[in-house]
Structure 1
């Protein structure tokens, strides 16, 4: 059987509502169907998606993926239209909880999820279909969404032999074409092709996916509503709100962000995602994703005093020896004359030398203390490691990445100082 909504077969789609910017209806028939369709945020069901097929088709199955992240459509109605203009309802489903549903002629394979048989009176019209109309009737308190749709069948028997051969040739080319580079690859067995499809479809843990876009998160943020989304999703939502003159808010509840109610970076989940991306770095889909902790910091040779610590590199150098103002003011010409006059007295010279020695020892001790302090600063407060350090802005202490992951559970530094996740910055030596 063939999927007649594949982009190589050139189907068309018409939607009777306004779509979100990144989720137009054309995504359902493009090379990236998993991005899906989403109606504008104020749109209420029902809405119609009309798929026009280039040739008459004998339909056997229609598969629908009903959710995008936390957004879900729960009621569908499917209608078809043949070349003579006759329109007929072939199936409907409501109160859907499954991720995928399949409308089919004879439900057999139970591994395909929920299966719904076509209405019996519509069997005679399923052999010459040119248009399929999918109506989203109900949703789960969200705008209508549809992540993916496939229409499987065969060329209608009424088509001439040349047209059938042309359709089958195009479909064969799609089976032996790389989905990322569109370059033809050598013929393989069915088992090899299935293995290749499994590699391209990443089996990503569900908690690594954005609950709105259903993509792997790079900067996982916990919203005040408890949902987990990527920072880029929050940025796009804030830009959309700004166009309407609204302040940045939670995409799920609409509550405006404040100082105490704002997104927080989940460092523990981010480290798990980094580990997953590193283990699967051989996959082409993973290679394009960034795997760097923190945001890029612009390096400068001479940081200015007015810049904050988070935007400049900190160069620790030994503190220059400070001149005490009192001693400097006391060294006048009269004092020098008195010392010169008393230089010949043995008792005075011994006291003077002892005093100078004590001052020198104090200066050396102060330099040693400063050097020791610097050595302390550039090492982790807990394990004394100096690799991959982070700075806690509240107490100015440095901790390494493994220690930071443990401290972030209780948000408590080793010095018993509480901190927030947004009060941590990358430290460069």
Structure 2
């Protein structure tokens, strides 16, 4: 049984509400323990309900969920959980109104008040999943936490852990990959004493149409071609240096509201899973573009460059926020953006996706 919100399992998170500086939602799944300990704290004027939506690496058979629902004097007293599979809509699996620092939700198929879930804090409330939602929480790809009540404070979440195992719908390769990532010893399958890598091949749709490298964040262009986000940004910067507007590198047409690049989320999920499943295959060692430390370090180098990290509108370098297309805006300019659309590349975004940039 694993915590499927462990950073090693690459969970994803979206939030419907803006956050206080240093208390962003992604703290909850950060690989930095000190950052993770801060938790999430909504902006001071935010009132419930708010939603936190988590996406797991694979479908999960959830056994129990532990939530820490207070941060200092900030305290939540009402939470509802929703879950869904890849192809279904959200279903409420549990709801609680409580007066404890945290709470544990679990399945009554495995646990009871005399047979408590592991790691359950006796000071926390104990609640059970709804019996008629077994098929939902036993095959959950997404989990939504709705904070609908607080103790006269802003919504917050100090921490969350979702314990379970890969659902029955997961392939054997996925289960083996999860075990390997989490440190469980998995016997190697060998043929004649040598690993069988003869059938290894990188799918063609994982390749950047411009650089011919494996993509990290695939962006589908109006022309139908797909390139990595870094490639697209470099192209846009190059066009700006010549005084030209951002456009499709294959057709030369400028981006507009109806003709703009879109992140290919489904393809990104496939690339992520492919690279994780083949992380021990020597054939992947030479890939120039990865999802590991090389890419993270390149992000850090970009962010620490004083010439590039500034507001796209007023060019100041204080109180900056980064939006999903990786352009930067100061707080004032961000609040004045119409239709929540980037002025540089016309990419749409929601307020909750803007994250504070720290040098």
Q: TM-score, normalised by structure 1?
A: 0.39
**Which protein shows a greater Rg?**
1
Q: TM-score, normalised by structure 2?
A: 0.47
